[in-house]
Structure 1
Amino acid sequence: MLSSDLPVSEYNPYYHTYIKALGDVHLLDSLEEGKNDFSSFMEEFPEEKLNYSYAEEKWTLAEVLMHIIDAERVFQYRALRFARNDNTPLAGFDQDVYVPESNASRKTKKGIQDEYQAVRNATISLFKSFDDSALKRIGFASDSPMSTRAIGFIICGHQAHHLKIIRERYI
């Protein structure tokens, strides 16, 4: 499954920049590469940077990393529901409510890395279990149609987007 196979009708236009920024990638390869990129990134900075914020009212590095993890969990759940043909519309989530509740300031670099690895490994396992029919199923989240396969690419693009910002503004 390549990102070029994904019609824009299968996701909210809000996510287009995430998906387009990936280039033409294979979904499972992109999930694996994202896992490796995150691990390499975690080696780039000292632990003292976790509570750094590049401007007032901006999230700390630890909060951004936890946001990546939390968002992946939410998207993973959506993918499971859609793949299993659950047609119940799903509400959105407010990232600004989630971030303070993540207790990011109390987490260690290793703790964040371990949590990320567990979540990404579960995502990879989940997407490996889907056949073509399940990947193409459409559900509704945040009042928009979304396919299971689009969710996989959104997970990859969302992480890449935030790691780019982190490298530009935090490190």
Structure 2
Amino acid sequence: MTRFDLQPEDCPPYYRPYIDLLGEEELTVLLERQMGNFPEFIRSIPEDLWHYRYAEGKWTVSEVLVHVLDTERVFQYRALRFGRHDATPLPGFDQDAYVPMSLAMERTPDDLVEEYLAIRKSTLLLFRSMPEERMFWKGTASGNPMSLGALGFILCGHQKHHRNILRERYLGRQGKG
């Protein structure tokens, strides 16, 4: 499945910008490619920027990265439920409440790379285990219908979105990136 196989009703419109960031790759190819290059990106961030925030009230670099990990875990769980045809509506999650509880400021780049690789490998294996026709199965999350395939592309686009933000607003302002 590619993102072009998705229909407008596969996810709420506010997720479309994440999906639109992606190319034409099959979902599992994209998941695997990101698993190869995102750790390199994390390791490329200078340690003196790890606790940098570009404005008051914004997350630090480490908090943004932990947010990416937390979101992938939430979406992975949703994908498991949708892929097992569980029709129980799933609640949303408050990303702003998760960040202070994540202890991101105590994490190291190596910690986050290790954790990212474990999470992404699990995500990749989950999506590889799903037959193509299940990619169109829908569940409800945060009060909205979503397809299993859309969940996969959204989490890839979400990661790319935050990588872009880190490059533009965090690393770019410091003359790096």
Q: Structure 2-normalised TM-score?
A: 0.94
SS in 1 for 2:50: helix
Q: Which residue of 2 aligns with 1:41?
A: 41
Q: Which runs of 5 or more residues in structure 2 are unaligned?
A: 172-177
Q: What are the within-5 Å matches in structure 2 for residues 14-163 of structure 1?
A: 14-163=14-163
**Structure-2 separation of matches of 1:137 and 1:17:** 21
Deviation at 1:26, TM superposition (A): 1.1
Structure 1 segments, 4+ long, off by >2 Å, are none
**Residues in 2 aligned to 1:148 and 1:45: alpha-carbon distance in whole angstroms:** 32
Please list the CA deviations of residues 35-70 of structure 1 after superposition, one character each: whole Å capped at 9, or x if unmatched.
122122123222222111111110000000000000
| Inter-partner Cα distance in structure 2 for 1:149 and 1:9 | 12
Equivalences, count: 171
Q: Which runs of 5+ in 1 are unaligned?
A: none
Deviation, structure 1 residue 133? 2.7
Q: Which residue identity lines up with residue 17 of structure 1 in the other structure?
A: P
- Identity over the aligned pairs, expressed in percent? 50
User: 1:140 is paired with a residue of what secondary structure?
Assistant: strand
The letter for the 2-side match of 1:5 is: D
Instruction: Return the offset for 1:114.
Output: 0.6
The worse-fitting range, judged by mean Cα deviation, of 51-60 and 33-42 is 33-42
Give the RMSD, CA atoms, in angstroms: 0.9
Q: Is the 8 A contact 2:39 2:113 kept in 1?
A: yes
